[in-house]
Amino acid sequence: MVQITDTEFRKISDYVKRHYGIELKNEKRALVTSRLHSILTEHGFTSFSQYFDYVISDKSGQAAIAMMNKITTNHTYFMREAEHFDYLKNHVLPWVKSVSAREKDVRIWSAGCSTGQEPYTLAMIMNDFFGPEKPYWDTRILATDISLKALDAAKKGVYSDKDIEPIPPTWRLSHFDRIDKTSYSVKESIRSDVIFRRFNLMDDHFPFKRKFHAIFCRNVMIYFNNETKYELVRKFYDITEKGGYLFIGHAESLNRDLTDYKFVKPAIYRKE
């Protein structure tokens, strides 16, 4: 196995932090090395320096995409932090329904959507909430991630029986088709409600025409340092509708002195 030197690890981690915000702490060194090792072998590189030179000189961007597919942590699951979905249904959507009664447009962004379980859960909640009125509303959810591999899996919408275990049985019946003994696919009626795009949250420019009623950025900023996190939260704030919400992971929190969002309850913030 090719070993990584201190300098090589620093160069790769500086690059990842500068371009993607993700901090690769020294404890992550063995993990990063083993995750990247298969690419080194595949290309016949004999050192991480050779590999890094190849990543930064590849103008197509494909080498960086492949690296980020390996480096990102995409752990997620259906119904994760389910209180958020209750809050969405009981507080956020009734508010959106009142403020958007004329436009009938609900704008929700799953930022860091990984393999799709979060935005599909949001789509199922919306489906329940709007019921027979749903065809009259634009309920499409924007779901973005930096990992193309995660996004490909998300777009396919195929999950194992273990993956769909947390989903209530009625939803399993109405929103999933069984493909074979152990896998299920999300029905088109839910899949078509989610628009998947690759987007780097570190981009200076957020290219969205309209502001969001709710942004879900859960378990993403834990990989960022404080400066990167609050810079991103500021950008989220700018593109949140007045009265709109930011949801973060329950293991995360925002310092009220460093953000204009107001604390609603743990991991839920509002732009007043």
Question: What does the binding site for ligand SAM look like in residue numbers (CB under 6 A)?
Answer: 20-22, 72-76, 80, 112, 114, 118, 145-147, 150, 200-202, 218-220, 223, 249
For residues 4 and 79, which CB has a smaller minimum distance to ligand SAM in the complex?
79
At its nearest, how many Å lie between ligand SAM and the CB of residue 220?
4
At its nearest, how many Å lie between ligand SAM and the CB of residue 203?
8
Q: Which amino acid appears at position 238 of this protein? A: D
For residues 45 and 154, which CB has a smaller minimum distance to ligand SAM in the complex?
154
For residues 126 and 201, which CB has a smaller minimum distance to ligand SAM in the complex?
201
At its nearest, how many Å lie between ligand SAM and the CB of residue 221?
9
Distances (CA, A) of 34 to 3, 17, 38, 206, 237: 10, 19, 8, 33, 37
For residues 41 and 253, which CB has a smaller minimum distance to ligand SAM in the complex?
253
At its nearest, how many Å lie between ligand SAM and the CB of residue 79?
10
At its nearest, how many Å lie between ligand SAM and the CB of residue 180?
26
**Helix axis angle, 6-20 relative to 62-71, nearest 10°?**
100
At its nearest, how many Å lie between ligand SAM and the CB of residue 46?
29
Question: What residues are paired with 144 via a beta bridge?
Answer: 111, 197
Q: What are phi and psi of 155, to 5 degrees?
A: -65, -40
For residues 121 and 259, which CB has a smaller minimum distance to ligand SAM in the complex?
121
* DSSP secondary structure letter of residue 156: H
Q: Which amino acid appears at position 102 of this protein? A: R
Distance CA 50, CA 12 (A): 12
At its nearest, how many Å lie between ligand SAM and the CB of residue 101?
30
For residues 171 and 224, which CB has a smaller minimum distance to ligand SAM in the complex?
224
Count CB neighbours of 263 within 10 A: 13
The dihedral through the CA atoms of 11, 12, 15, 16 has a sign that is negative
* DSSP secondary structure letter of residue 191: H
Strands 183-186 and 176-178 come out as antiparallel
Distance CA 63, CA 56 (A): 8
For residues 33 and 76, which CB has a smaller minimum distance to ligand SAM in the complex?
76
Helix (H) or strand (E) holding 11: helix 6-20
Helical ranges in 176-246 per DSSP H: 188-191, 226-238
